[in-house]
Amino acid sequence: MDNSEQDSIQTRYENLRLRSMALISRLLSWTLRQRHFRALLVFFLVLLGLVTSFSIIFQILMAYEGQQHSWVSGLYWTMSTMSTLGYGDITFTSDLGRLFSVLVLLSGMIFFLTLLPFTFIELFYEPWIESRAANLVPRNVPADMQGHVILTFYDLVASALIDKLTHFNYPYVVILPELGEVASLGEKGIRVIYGELNDPETYRRARVERAVMVATTRPDVVNTSVAFTVRGITDKTRIIATAREAASHEILKLAGCNRVLDLSWLMAEALARRAIGGDQFTHVVGQIDDLIIAEVVASRTTLVGKNYLRAQTETSVNIVGFWERGNFEIGQPDSIIEANTVLVLAGSRQQLKEFDALYQVEAAPAPFRPVVIIGGGRVGRATAAALKRRGIEYRIVEQLEERIPNAENYVHGSGADKSVLQRAGIEEAPTVIITTRDDETNIYLTIFCRLLRPDIQIISRSSLERNVSVLNRAGSDIVMSYASMGSNALFNLLQRSDLLMIAEGLDVFKVPVPRELAGKRLTELNLRQLTNCSIIGIDFDDSTMTNPGPDFELPAAGEIVLIGTPAGEAEFLRLFSTE
């Protein structure tokens, strides 16, 4: 069988699959309408049976009392009584007749005043409102949209990613199957359209064949359906999905995903990279092209007490700035390097080796005790594995006994119990990493650990970006935001490796040289004062120059690598055009 025959068979198969999915969708819609009709029919049949029965009993009781009324009068009395109108022109004189009237009245209150309005709202009014709302919400992107990113969920990660896309002028659209959320997000200025995630027509209306990426961060089963549906339309657009279960990675790739991300694993790697420990003097925390970002505890160097500007001139490595209790500061000429700060370095691998040889203190540091990890969930276990790869011992504090596979590296108990933390080695540990998913718990544990050990390094996970500053105030030295980490991971896949999150509050990013800056020397730019960002590398002529000198002129056709806070990054992009 030649390639053309294979392509023809594949095309027929895809067409058949798409028609089958459309037929299933129509059948499901028809089934739903049938269910509504059956419920309505049952309601009216029961009501008709009651009215008929009450009219017959009315005739029997009236005959018992010696009164004669027509069948029309019986129906008239039944309906007026059940509807609580009660004209009073036809009445019973016996107690038995009056008890029957009470029964009819109560039945009418239940059916006419309760069940009938509920049935009308549930089966008619709400579907009508939903249908009206569905017709009003946007279902298509503009006809000329291209090069955009399609998102299938609006959560913390998607919100942070949209901020990145907006800063870098990438168009985007969010597809949601919930009408209420579509309307709500639309009012907030989020570009969103309504559509079912398993309907191929939804992605055609989103111009998926012109998009640069589909990013889906829903549960694994839904992500698989999204990837399979998109691949039925186009095989060119990149599909990036997140996965919660290890077994889902292969399934998602078979469904058509180009990359599958485990955000819990990425978070764990980031937490482990920031931990003090092991035999390394400087430890790498990130890399963008040939430029390496590393950190070193100032107390382990011979630079303590030196002026920042003097230290900068003595080494080929760029000492970008320093961390001090969760706050990153760009190094200023009058800054003094103190023992309790963590220096952030940028340079090539060779330059970092030279720095290690020149500035490491001669006396070998005391052996590090195991790092304490509070929380033995997915992130906690992955953090432990990452520390092990770095050669750092660890102890995990876990409250749930079923999460403890062995007693060697685990301590059973609550992280809020002093005796449990003491058994884990909190009094000698260089670092404690707090990995629970609940921010309130993490804030409490941060304060508790800071009270126990004022000098310990505390690294904490944050689920919500708004709690990052709270955790810093509580005493965390480093806070890693799940939302920022996930959005940066997705953005990196969109734009190669042009954005690197070192920690919450510190990014490395690469942009084309702005037209306003081309041909200017670095000393003329004054970028640190203007944007709180620092140039640490320049890409041009297929190579990367690390730490260019102050007299270097920026090439028009090159790219610059900057390091700074997210606010500084946003200010740089506001001031200078990078198109």
pLDDT tens-digit readout, 150-206:
999 998 899 989 988 887 788 999 999 987 788 888 888 899 999 999 999 999 999
Locate 401 and state its tokens: 């006994």
**Short-list 385, 384, 411, 416, CA closest to 400:** 411
Common-topology check for domains 3-136 and 279-359 = no
Residue 1 confidence (pLDDT) above 70: no
Q: How many CB atoms lie within 10 A of CB 161?
A: 26
Q: How many CB atoms lie within 10 A of CB 162?
A: 19
Q: Place 533 in a pLDDT band, splitting at 50, 70 and 90.
A: confident
Q: Which CATH class is domain 505-575?
A: alpha beta
Reduce the DSSP state of residue 211 to 3 states and report it: coil
CATH 1.10.287.70 given to domain 3-136:
yes
Residue 506 confidence (pLDDT) above 80: no
Per-residue pLDDT, 200 = 93
Fold of 371-483: Rossmann fold (3.40.50)
Q: What is the mean pLDDT of residues 522-529?
A: 79
Per-residue pLDDT, 362 = 60
Cα separation of 462 and 218, whole Å? 20
H or E element at residue 56: helix 3-65
Locate 379 and state its tokens: 């992130």
Quote the Cα angle for 367-369-374, to 5°.
155
Q: Which CATH class is domain 149-261?
A: alpha beta
**pTM of the prediction?**
0.65
Q: What is the mean pLDDT of residues 413-424?
A: 93
How many residues in the chain? Answer: 579
Condensed to tens digits (0 to 9), the pLDDT of residues 211-230 reads 999 999 999 999 999 999 99
Fold of 279-359: Alpha-Beta Plaits (3.30.70)
Per-residue pLDDT, 113 = 74
Contacts 24+ apart (CB under 8 A), 3-12: none
The domain locations on the chain are 3-136, 149-261, 279-359, 371-483, 505-575
Is residue 289 a contact partner of residue 495, using CB atoms and an 8 Å limit? no
Per-residue pLDDT, 439 = 93
Provide the 8-state DSSP code for 301: B
